[in-house]
Chain A
Amino acid sequence: MRLIQGNKMTAFILVIAAFLILLPFVYESRNLFILLTQIFVFAIFAMSYDLLIGFTGIVSFGHAMFFGIGAYSMGIFMKKFEPTMTYFFLAVLSTIVLTGLVSFIVGLLTLRLKSHFYAMLTLSLSGLFLVLAEKWRSMTFGNDGFTFRVPEMLIDRTHFYWLSLCLMVAIFLFLKRFTNSPLGRVLQAIRENEQRTESLGFQVLHYKIAASVVSGVIAGIAGILYAISLRYVNTSVFSMDITLDALLMTIIGGVGTLVGAIIGAGLIEFAHDWLTELAKEHVIFERWIIFFGIIYILVVMFFPKGIVGTLSTYTWKRKKQTAVKSKEKVAG
């Protein structure tokens, strides 16, 4: 039953994706496409976060560091060398290697301990990366950041819109497949009951590290896309705000669903856009993040499954009820 529902959901998403692909042919609005591109980038980032928090039950507070590594690798390669496709692929390669390495080391150090340690170490390590980006001025130009040119193929906004959309769909399908694979099943078992998984003979640590590495690399890819979309990087890519964005998107959208991460990303980016407009009317909207903070706390307390999770349990219950009722009718 749930499997069919899952497939329906995937089909639904593919329909929306097709609509979004065709959108640039019929509608023209530069701002909307920039906003949508931003949503795709953050959806990728939030999905990578969901793999950790929703599927494995690991809490990371330093996810921004992978995002930042991706953004800075791309920026530095494009700035220091030529903005060609060769260097583009080299930047992607170095991002994958670096994020994989960092997430592997962090995971190795802390994932055998209680969940607090991973949250703490990632939090302080991303703080360290922020300081590094500020101090290593010859490479990163410090706090001011730097602009750079992108390869010709990626200059056109619409092309880049398609690229990020396709990447988002590809990563969604990949993560869907990944979480339903035997490895993904073990990850979910770890989330549900770590001791039991261990006593069933699984090397919990190895699985957790695998999840952490996959998630780190995908977050790095999101960072690359972010840097290209802005053609500018500064130290804010390592800031706590980026991690908080991912956290809010995943939690409010719904953990452990992947779709929730995408919906959360859309919701928060749209709201951000809208509330920044409203800030002209009243200053309280400048602090728009406070509303999301409060919503976030309420969601964690009362709807720990987020929007998607809560909705799907609701429809599932209703279906079950109608099924029971129709059975009663037949019996009566």
Chain B
Amino acid sequence: MDLIINLTLNGLATGMLIFLLAAGLTLIFGLMDVLNFAHGGLFAWGAYSGLWVYQQTGSFIIGIAGAIITGCLLGIITEKWIIKPVYGNHVQQILITLGLMLVLSEMLKVIWGPNQITASPPDYLKGSWELGGVIVIKYRIFIILVGLFIFAAVQYILKNTKVGLVVRAGVMNKEMVQALGINIQKVFMFVFMIGAGMAALGGVLLGPYSGVIHAGMGMEFAILAFIVVVIGGMGNFKGSVLAAILVGLSGSFMAYYVPDLSLAVNMLLMAVVLIIRPQGLFGAGGVRG
């Protein structure tokens, strides 16, 4: 029982981190039709810059804030200078974002060195609680709570504000929104910024969770996020959280019982979804070329 609860919590925490990455991807894709291959780079930048600020100031909260600010700024720069010049050309967009990914992760090595950096949670999140004989690690609970909070907040914005309304309408039909006189470019930038900020938040939370950060982790998590985006349905925000939890749980249970197959199971899941429901398990249409 102890084991199962811990594996579940572990899976949920990993799932939440993947969700923070995948949510931005899926929203950006749904709205702008851009699959941002540099998203993993933003994630890694969040991890490095957040950890740096955390180490400089000694406050984890300021570190998180630093990561989010870095992420948002990088998001704005990316949207403005990298993606906007090639709007409408899919192949160019895919190529250019991968190039950005390359530059971002190499820049990390230039600034912080090629070796991995150790990270540990602040004192108040260290250690564990004992609840009825089950040992629960505090930091995992913290990640799950942050993930749920972000999900609720974004869901609230999407459902209850003007911007959210425009975003949802834009996902359904971009041209119509534009025809109604709304400056969709501004919405694009806003969504890109939020998506990048969420990715950076995921990155900074991952550092103390896994203990070390390295420049290659952006790509590792980006692959998981792509799997989540496909399973959840591209452009489907709610789908992405369910799929992220699914991938996180299957990863954590498989890593314990059949460690060699943990990535293979997620890949298999993605292949099955691609065959049977290319629009995603929870998704709507819009995938055919």
Contacts and interface: CB of A to CB of B under 8 A. Distances in A.
A213 interface: no
Contacts of A15: none
B91 A301 contact: no
B103 to A, nearest CB: 4
Contacts of B287: 113-114, 117
A207 to B, nearest CB: 13
Interface string A142-165: 000000000000000000000000
Given A244-B102, A293-B103, A297-B103, A116 B95 contact: no
A293 to B, nearest CB: 4
Given A53-B91, A296-B99, A300-B92, A117 B278 contact: yes
Contacts of A57: 91
Q: Would you call the interface of chain B mostly helix, strand, loop, or mixed?
A: helix
Contacts of B220: 127
Interface stretch (A215-223, A283-291, A319-327): A283-291
A115 B278 contact: no
Interface size class of B (residues with CB under 8 A): 35 or more
Interface stretch (A95-103, A118-126, A181-189, A273-281): A118-126
Interface in B237-289: 260, 263-264, 267, 270-271, 274-275, 278, 287-289
B166 interface: no
Interface in B187-236: 219-220, 223, 226-227, 229-230, 234
Contact of A300 (B99, B275, B288): B99
A123 B101 CA distance: 13
A110 B274 contact: yes
Interface in B61-118: 82, 85-86, 90-92, 94-96, 98-100, 102-103, 106-107, 109-110
Interface string B173-198: 00000000000000000000000000
A109 B220 CA distance: 22
Nearest to A296: B99
Interface residues of A, number: 39
Contacts of A124: 223, 226-227, 267, 270
B47 interface: no
Contacts of A301: 85-86, 96
A161 B15 CA distance: 50
Contact of B95 (A123, A127, A135, A251): A251
A53 B98 CA distance: 14
Q: Pick from A53, A120, A121, A289 the residue with the most CB of B within 10 Å.
A: A120
A287 B99 contact: no
B51 interface: no
A240 interface: yes
A120 B99 contact: no
Interface in A292-317: 293-294, 296-297, 300-301, 304
Contacts of B100: 297
B7 interface: no
A128 B264 contact: yes
B20 interface: no
Q: Pick from A61, A194, A284, A293 the residue with the most CB of B within 10 Å.
A: A293
A59 interface: yes
A112 B289 contact: yes
A291 to B, nearest CB: 9
Contact of B230 (A61, A120, A244): A120
Nearest to B110: A287
A115 B90 contact: yes
Nearest to B96: A300
A119 B98 CA distance: 10
The 4 closest A-B pairs by CB, nearest first: A293-B103, A290-B106, A293-B102, A116-B35
30 contacts: A59-B91, A61-B37, A112-B278, A112-B289, A113-B274, A113-B289, A115-B91, A115-B94, A117-B230, A117-B287, A119-B35, A121-B270, A121-B274, A124-B270, A127-B220, A127-B223, A127-B263, A131-B264, A135-B260, A194-B289, A240-B219, A247-B98, A290-B103, A297-B96, A297-B99, A297-B100, A300-B96, A300-B99, A301-B96, A304-B92
Interface of B: 29, 35, 37, 82, 85-86, 90-92, 94-96, 98-100, 102-103, 106-107, 109-110, 219-220, 223, 226-227, 229-230, 234, 260, 263-264, 267, 270-271, 274-275, 278, 287-289
Interface of A: 53, 57, 59, 61, 109-110, 112-117, 119-121, 123-125, 127-128, 131-132, 135, 194, 240, 244, 247, 251, 284, 287, 289-290, 293-294, 296-297, 300-301, 304
Given A112-B289, A289-B102, A304-B92, 4 more contacts: A61-B98, A109-B275, A287-B109, A300-B92
